[in-house]
Structure 1
Amino acid sequence: MSVLSPVAKKRSDYRAPDFLIDHVDMAFHLDVTQTRVISTSRFTRNGQHQSPLVLDGENLQLISVTINGEPVTDYHQSDEHLTLNINQNDFELCIETRINPQENKTLEGLYFSGGAYCTQCEAEGFRKITYFLDRPDVLAKYDVTIFADKTRYPHMLSNGNQIDKGELDDGRHWVKWQDPFKKPSYLFALVAGNFDLLTDRFVTQSGRSVALELYVDKGALDKGHHALASLKKAMAWDEQVFGLEYDLDIYMIVAVDFFNMGAMENKGLNVFNSKFVLADAESATDDDFFNIEAVIGHEYFHNWTGNRVTCRDWFQLSLKEGLTVFRDQQFSADMSSPVFNRIKNVQIIREHQFAEDASAMAHPIRPEEVIEMNNFYTVTVYDKGAEVIRMMHTLLGAAGFRQGMDLYFSRFDGQAVTCDDFVQAMQDATQVDLSQFRRWYSQSGTPKVKVTDSFDAKTGVYHIDFTQNTPPTADQKVKQNLHIPFKFELLDEKGNSISDDSVPELSAKMIELTSRVHRITVTGLQAKPTPSLLHDFSAPIKVDYAYSHQQLSNIILYSGDDFARWDASQRLYSRCIHNLAISPDTPDDELLDSMLQAVQGIFDIADVNPALAGAMLSLPSFETLSQQVDEIQVEALYHAQRSVRNLIATTLSDQWSTLYHKQAVVPYRYVADDVDSRRLRNLSLSYLVQAGAPQSSDILLAQFAQADNMTDCLGVLKAAQFGELKQFDQLMEQFETRWRHDPLVLDKWFALHANMERSDILVRLPLLLSHDKFSLDNPNRVRSVLGSFAFYNVLGFHAVDGSGYKFLADYILKLNSVNPQVAARIITPLTQWQKFDEKRRELMRYQLARIADCQDLSKDLIEKVSKSLNYTSH
């Protein structure tokens, strides 16, 4: 079947706006079903032309239009635009619209949920509030006045600084906000509700005092302290590392339960999904604390990389998102374990971004075309985009990168610019030629670097060749050579790093791979060295080198780069798993013994580097393993992974028991040493339970009963998934009873059930969806059940009869009319059918075709479904 896509928007078609807006004055008369919005804007014709004014608008009831105070009736209104023929070059346009926030289930524009009004305008949500030039290159200053019932909505917030307020005789009150900085409409924000308020202050490096305000649901105030502390850390870090100071008198964060994204960086008024704000020891895990700090930092860092300098158009999204993800990664590395943080970054790339590159949805970090802007928010744009920024940081050095950032801000502050503008600033500041490097922005796909070497024992000459190649992708057949910073070292037979002043790449421990093949020759060696490759994951690429088992063990023990040591452990595990998947009846005992010896050596690392040991003792995920094969044999790969894990669990049961009991149990603190210890303790527990070790059941129950924190409590539940089903169900019942009234914790309960490996999972999932705490209107709840099942329940989702695919497709069709943005995100596993066996490919394509046949399919889904169905292998 072939599906025709709607007409795509292309980056090459960009043209400057016909009109500009200098100032916007907005009045909101809030009502749950009939909110009145009066928007008065000062327009200027941009250049010499007679084009009409075409405004964007969706789902709006137009009440009136006036120009310079005179009523206008000569306009054309369509489903998506309002067109006016205007002769003046400068004029004031006033538009009154009426909207229904309560019925806005898409959670874009202005919506009412959980007793509060909230907005989400990125990417194109502002057009659901009023008719406007809803594009990022139209920047204006905003004055916003909000009117609402004082009792029900005592807090009424918008961007900037509050400049006036008052009360009305009818029980309403009003507040006026003024944002002194020009911004695009996607950064507009409004929130009105009855919240608890947590306050603090931050004194900037120049001595200014900034008021910090955190708004949370009633009763949740004690869970906001970590978020507020994280904000202060981020503000101080940005001053110290990049010299960037906050620019308003107040910084506000509002936590809401119903939100499509993680958070939104609206100028001065960040709106957050409550899961990235609320935390205490009892209800939040170490990962939750980490993610809150990271996301708080990310949205704050946008104040400069996204707000003060913004995108010219949405094809430049990585300009702000890739750069800001890199900045939040650097921040998180400084706040916690650098190696564990880096490993988390790389796992996202290998599990999700490489999969996107291998699918019909492949695109560069700066895409060339799109149908629905919300589909731009991908791991390629965000996370690969961050890796591209990281490569620039590597090539320029920390000092050079800072010079480039300084020039970027001084050159473009207050403007909407492009990715090319950013790279040019980096090049101009450092005089480093980045012309070839720019291809990373326009070329999709995962580059592969094949490394081959040879050693002549008689002459002591060693050659090592690095050959780059980027396979064709769905969107591009022809690829060019890239500029790849490739960090590495050579280890001698004793594990020492080899240096040779005559070989500059060895001194720098990096090559800049620009041609197809790069050769290094080293002389005077006594034995063939071991290459330790791609240190710190210096480029988002795949590396192919025929390591021996012993070479991998040497890297694990001796490499000077912690990431390389972890990566070698993952390569060794992967080799064992793939070997078993291919030959389950004739395992390679030598390979398995080598792996077990390496694991035994990793236990010794735990005392000196627990963060690294915790990562090295964890096996690669099914998603990572899937990207290492040309065709995914689901059952074979899954059971091989479980078999290797079971071998490690049973063979080393005593070591796991020792490691478990060595971890001190202390009152909960979110500090790095304690986090590392809890990670090792819970990892050990899961291995003990899988091995069926003596007293493992007693240990499990004791930890569950004694846990003073969610990390250890959830650690028990995850470990119990490897044990008896009856015990798991009993523990989950206790957990639900304890936490059923806490939405964020109950999301964890839903996700655990959806991930559970059990033969009756497709019977149990409908029971979860009929739970009185489940709602399709709640994106977090949808992601916890449908998302968890589709992305992580390998055997359930990929059931050989296609029932898992049908189940997901059924609910995507339901979500299409409720929240198409969420539907388009959880459809991703179906669109990645290309690497599965023939039967599964056809079953997945059949469900995509079912979705494609739906009447009134959203643009969000049309784009993904049509691209996927029209995909042909390359």
Structure 2
Amino acid sequence: MKTDTPRVIRLSEYAPYPFTVESLDLAFDLDPKATRVESTLKLSRTGDSGAALELDGEDLRLVSVAIDGEALAEDRYEATDSGLRIAKVPDAFTLTITTEIAPEDNTKLEGLYLSNGMYCTQCEAEGFRRITYFPDRPDVMTTYRVTIRADKGVNPVLLSNGNRVDAGDLDGGRHYVTWEDPFKKPSYLFALVAGDLARVQDSFRTRSGRDVELNIWVEHGNESRCPFAMESLKKAMKWDEDVYGLEYDLNLFNIVAVSHFNMGAMENKSLNVFNAKAVLADPETATDADYAYIEAVVAHEYFHNWTGNRITCRDWFQLSLKEGLTVFRDQQFSSDMRSAPVERIDQVRSLRARQFPEDAGPLAHPVRPDSYIEINNFYTATVYMKGAEVIRMMHRLLGEDGFRKGMDLYIARHDGTATTCDNFAKAMEDASGRDLSQFKRWYSQAGTPQVEAEGRFEDGVYALTIRQHTDPTPGQDTKHPQHIPFEVGLISRDGAALPLRLEGEPADGEAPLTRVLDVTEAEQTFRFTGLEAEPVPSLNRGFTAPVRLTAPWSDADRALLMRYDPDSFAKWEAGQQYATQLLLNAVNERAAGRNVAPDATRFVDALGTTLSDETLDPAYRAQMMALPTEDYLAEQMPVMDVDGVHAAREALKRDIAVTHADLFTKLRDQHRAAAGPFAPTAEGAGHRALANGALAYLTTDPANAHLAAEQYDAADNMTDRMAALRVLVELDVPERDRCLTDFHDRYQHNELALDKWFSVQAVAARPDTLARVKDLMSHEKFTMRNPNRVRALVGAFAMGNPTVFHAKDGSGYAFLADRVLELNSLNPQIGARLLQPLGRWKRMDEDRRKLMTAELDRILAAPDLARDIYEIASKSRQA
């Protein structure tokens, strides 16, 4: 039984580091079992004269310590499992430390490790301490000079941050390269890569006329799968210059793709390290979603050069300072590169699927957390996605010009420093003149605001009353009203957009057709005048605020908004909320023993009208076609009924499919043809999305399984092949096993494609899925040491298959707990992320609650439980 509780780190306890690191020289002698690292730090005291020097360090073998060239006897320092302490040091001195590490044995993939024979680092958040002893915190910034020595035959490529300043051969077939980064950075941005890599090279000319060398380094044989990532990089560099006036600051930019990586990518200064799935793409192996993901991730990591690297976090509680801001910037970029309405819908789908449940569960925390045990656990949907929504709301409140002025001021003030979310907000305030005092509650207050709208029409005036409240979350029982930017419109009963003139405004002049209300109180009423009849309100247009909205819309109102709302998001939202209400009513009827489903005729007809509207973007119509997910529907219930939700959703799909069978056949044929030969364009992706959505409806009738099999066989791209396979894995037809076998045999030597093969089986809502998943764990290509493969099989099952994961016998819970315990010693960071579905036990029925909490207790009772897993399990259990 675990008895030692890990220490809690608190924002309130922040104190500056008492020393400045003037410079750091690192020398690496690479060896899989015994890499030797010599670090030379020039330090000067900035704090109390009596303060000891304390450095972080984990899993290191200390070889020697010297101050100003004099070796220290063992009684002069104290080395522990967590660091190195030297009680007495001068006010200014040079510290030289030699350590030894074993990259080959590093299964945690933090620090320096091997990925398919290639040396690679991951130092965010606290991986640098697994390389050498150092003040491993983001507010300690210094310049780095790095020399790497290695066997030239095995590791011909030696990379680090900054500029290559020296290189040469050594005795014994070895060689060296020295890199120097002119910009100060924290240790989490340090990077080293060494191996036998192929290079894909290009260049970019900045707006000031400098030529930047661009390189993507990959394993040999993957060169042909890099052009899309390279073009995405150049687009991102151009976009950042055009939109934010930000130019790249060095003459070299490297990206390296690795097979084993805990994250999507890492923005190390000038040497971005990427999970291979965020770089490699070709039509045969990458879907349209993969291409869009690569484009967004490449942009995200590049944008970090200014919002994350040049300006970084003072402490890890400020993580959203860089991540929320940079997610918002990559979302802007994707919206400009693709369909803005479709991108916004995708963003909101993801927010509701991942962040809203986090806000409503035991792991709820503010965008700027107050405390943590393991910082790796706070790379969360709240910090990233809700953090981006906070920036988006600022952008909406200040306007395009005001926000740009705020960004310019923020960069001018804080370039080259480690700063805070408050300082970012202050720059926005000073540049715009707006008071953001109340708005900053979005950083400190956890939970999703619940917004209730009520309308009343009388004597030509429509009074819209908005009420807000936020439920208590762990550690925050009392909530205060947020400043909510809330965009609204009014639609007449014949579908016309109406002018919005607030009571008291002059009657002359043209009133706007949409406007953003500042909701700042628990209850406010906004009165719109000059109306001839009661309108239908269009609320939270564009999802201007990340809130849960309740409004008194009738079925007729929702159908009208689906047809006529000029705001693309609000039109989609009306359909989603209409479908949600129908489905939840059906679940309740089933639970009450009544098997008569609510009448969905009006919704089905309105959906058909929208799907038939050829003036709408095909990608947008594909979004309209997709019903709310089972996870989202279950989240709307006080007690989740996963079986009832699945049954109701499948029934509505069949109803829609039968009613619009001819339309779906037409859409499938028309848009397969319109897509033409595969090209990774947004236009082609839209045609494929609509055609494949139609196929999914047509194959709700198993008699149409041949349509999916024919598409699988004829596909010239992975998007269409996977769309067909996703349909077939749900069906009991011979084509299912045939196509699964073909896919395996076709792609067995392609790691990223094979991940898709594992995942598509793990998410099938079939009674035999868990048995299939267990069998797949014995597959020769499955390993718990590869995070991508673990996420593809175990993660897909636990997080993407609610029907089977929540089996009544608890088998899904036991399976997940076994995998988390297995990862405890291998890669606890991944184990902690997989564990989170068990934290939703309070939302389940009594029998499932007992089964889920029993597995949490089993995990907590395990010996030597890693901090990552302990924190998630203990918070989940105590909820």
Using the size of structure 1 for normalisation, the TM-score is: 0.98
The yes-or-no answer on 1:154 pairing with 2:156 is: yes
Partner of 1:599 in structure 2? 607
Deviations 1:754-798 (A, max 9, x none): 111221222222210000000000000000010000011122110
Deviations 1:88-128 (A, max 9, x none): 11100000000000000000000012011000000000000
Distance in structure 1 (CA, Å) of the matches to 2:317 and 2:578: 40
Say if 1:489 and 1:506, in contact at 8 Å, map to a contact too: no
Cα gap change, 1:500 to 1:581, in 2 (>3 Å): closer
Q: Secondary structure at the match of 1:297?
A: helix
Q: Per-residue deviation at 1:523?
A: 3.5
Q: What RMSD in Å do the two structures reach over aligned CA positions?
A: 1.5
Q: Per-residue deviation at 1:5?
A: 4.6
Say if 1:653 and 1:691, in contact at 8 Å, map to a contact too: no
The yes-or-no answer on 1:660 pairing with 2:668 is: yes
Distance in structure 2 (CA, Å) of the matches to 1:597 and 1:358: 34
Partner of 1:466 in structure 2? 466
Q: Per-residue deviation at 1:587?
A: 6.6
Cα gap change, 1:502 to 1:346, in 2 (>3 Å): closer
Cα gap change, 1:764 to 1:508, in 2 (>3 Å): closer
Q: Secondary structure at the match of 1:455?
A: strand
Q: Per-residue deviation at 1:475?
A: 2.6
Partner of 2:15 in structure 1? 15
Deviations 1:36-87 (A, max 9, x none): 0000010011134311000000000000000000011210111101000234
Say if 2:402 and 2:432, in contact at 8 Å, map to a contact too: yes
Say if 1:257 and 1:274, in contact at 8 Å, map to a contact too: yes
Partner of 2:327 in structure 1? 325
Partner of 1:671 in structure 2? 681
Q: Which moved more, 1:177-186 or 1:573-582?
A: 573-582
Say if 2:611 and 2:624, in contact at 8 Å, map to a contact too: no
Say if 1:350 and 1:627, in contact at 8 Å, map to a contact too: no
Say if 2:490 and 2:500, in contact at 8 Å, map to a contact too: no
Q: Which moved more, 1:812-821 or 1:756-765?
A: 756-765
Partner of 2:816 in structure 1? 808
The yes-or-no answer on 1:389 pairing with 2:399 is: no
The yes-or-no answer on 1:512 pairing with 2:490 is: no
The yes-or-no answer on 1:582 pairing with 2:588 is: yes
Q: Per-residue deviation at 1:590?
A: 6.7
Distance in structure 1 (CA, Å) of the matches to 2:597 and 2:781: 50
Q: Per-residue deviation at 1:840?
A: 1.1
Deviations 1:137-174 (A, max 9, x none): 00000000000000110100000010000001210000
Cα gap change, 1:3 to 1:603, in 2 (>3 Å): farther
The yes-or-no answer on 1:209 pairing with 2:228 is: no
Q: Which amino acid aligns with 1:71?
A: A
Q: Per-residue deviation at 1:501?
A: 3.6
Partner of 1:691 in structure 2? 701
Distance in structure 1 (CA, Å) of the matches to 2:765 and 2:166: 58
Deviations 1:386-425 (A, max 9, x none): 0000000000001000000000000000000000000000
Deviations 1:803-859 (A, max 9, x none): 110011011100111000000011111112221112111211110000000000000
Q: Per-residue deviation at 1:461?
A: 3.1
Say if 1:352 and 1:623, in contact at 8 Å, map to a contact too: no
Cα gap change, 1:762 to 1:864, in 2 (>3 Å): same
Distance in structure 2 (CA, Å) of the matches to 1:181 and 1:533: 47
Partner of 2:542 in structure 1? 536
Pick from 372, 375, 394 the counterpart of residue 373 of structure 1.
Answer: 375
Partner of 2:508 in structure 1? none
Deviations 1:541-578 (A, max 9, x none): 00001210111111111112100011111011111111
Deviations 1:484-524 (A, max 9, x none): 00011011112122214444696651101001111112334
Cα gap change, 1:449 to 1:702, in 2 (>3 Å): same
Q: Per-residue deviation at 1:218?
A: 0.7
Partner of 2:493 in structure 1? 493
Say if 1:533 and 1:564, in contact at 8 Å, map to a contact too: yes
Distance in structure 2 (CA, Å) of the matches to 1:131 and 1:524: 70
Q: Which moved more, 1:21-30 or 1:47-56?
A: 47-56
Deviations 1:592-625 (A, max 9, x none): 1111111111122345321211100100111211
Partner of 1:832 in structure 2? 840
Say if 2:33 and 2:103, in contact at 8 Å, map to a contact too: yes
Q: Which amino acid aligns with 1:474?
A: P
Say if 1:682 and 1:715, in contact at 8 Å, map to a contact too: yes
Pick from 835, 852, 864 the counterpart of residue 860 of structure 2.
Answer: 852
Say if 1:579 and 1:588, in contact at 8 Å, map to a contact too: no
Partner of 1:757 in structure 2? 765
Say if 1:4 and 1:866, in contact at 8 Å, map to a contact too: no
Distance in structure 1 (CA, Å) of the matches to 2:691 and 2:157: 44
Say if 1:5 and 1:863, in contact at 8 Å, map to a contact too: no
Partner of 1:90 in structure 2? 92
Cα gap change, 1:4 to 1:605, in 2 (>3 Å): farther
Q: Which moved more, 1:6-15 or 1:741-750?
A: 6-15
Cα gap change, 1:37 to 1:569, in 2 (>3 Å): same
Partner of 2:57 in structure 1? 57
Pick from 573, 592, 604 the counterpart of residue 579 of structure 2.
Answer: 573
Q: Per-residue deviation at 1:302?
A: 0.1
Gaps of 5+ in 1: none
Partner of 1:709 in structure 2? 717
Distance in structure 1 (CA, Å) of the matches to 2:733 and 2:260: 33
The yes-or-no answer on 1:138 pairing with 2:148 is: no
Say if 2:53 and 2:89, in contact at 8 Å, map to a contact too: no
Distance in structure 1 (CA, Å) of the matches to 2:435 and 2:496: 34
The yes-or-no answer on 1:796 pairing with 2:804 is: yes
Q: Which moved more, 1:830-839 or 1:274-283?
A: 830-839
Distance in structure 2 (CA, Å) of the matches to 1:522 and 1:411: 42
Distance in structure 2 (CA, Å) of the matches to 1:598 and 1:395: 34
Q: Secondary structure at the match of 1:449?
A: strand
Q: Which amino acid aligns with 1:593?
A: T
Distance in structure 1 (CA, Å) of the matches to 2:336 and 2:258: 28
Say if 1:302 and 1:320, in contact at 8 Å, map to a contact too: yes
Cα gap change, 1:577 to 1:293, in 2 (>3 Å): same
Q: Which moved more, 1:594-603 or 1:310-319?
A: 594-603
Superposition misfits of 4+ residues, deviation over 4 angstroms: 1-5, 502-508, 585-590
The yes-or-no answer on 1:452 pairing with 2:458 is: no
* Identity between Structure 1 and Structure 2 (%): 47
Distance in structure 1 (CA, Å) of the matches to 2:576 and 2:155: 53
The alignment of Structure 1 onto Structure 2 pairs a total of residues equal to 867
Say if 2:709 and 2:735, in contact at 8 Å, map to a contact too: no
Pick from 119, 122, 125 the counterpart of residue 120 of structure 1.
Answer: 122
Q: Which amino acid aligns with 1:671?
A: T
Distance in structure 2 (CA, Å) of the matches to 1:3 and 1:152: 45
Distance in structure 1 (CA, Å) of the matches to 2:332 and 2:247: 17
Pick from 614, 621, 633 the counterpart of residue 613 of structure 1.
Answer: 621
Q: Per-residue deviation at 1:753?
A: 1.0
The yes-or-no answer on 1:555 pairing with 2:561 is: yes
Q: Per-residue deviation at 1:272?
A: 0.2
Gaps of 5+ in 2: 506-510
Distance in structure 2 (CA, Å) of the matches to 1:801 and 1:564: 41
Say if 1:30 and 1:147, in contact at 8 Å, map to a contact too: yes
Partner of 1:282 in structure 2? 284
Say if 1:252 and 1:268, in contact at 8 Å, map to a contact too: yes
Q: Which moved more, 1:491-500 or 1:171-180?
A: 491-500
Q: Per-residue deviation at 1:6?
A: 2.6
Q: Which moved more, 1:836-845 or 1:137-146?
A: 836-845
Q: Secondary structure at the match of 2:665?
A: helix
The yes-or-no answer on 1:818 pairing with 2:826 is: yes
Distance in structure 2 (CA, Å) of the matches to 1:152 and 1:158: 17
Q: Which amino acid aligns with 1:428?
A: D
Distance in structure 2 (CA, Å) of the matches to 1:761 and 1:702: 24
Distance in structure 2 (CA, Å) of the matches to 1:566 and 1:240: 31
Cα gap change, 1:832 to 1:361, in 2 (>3 Å): same
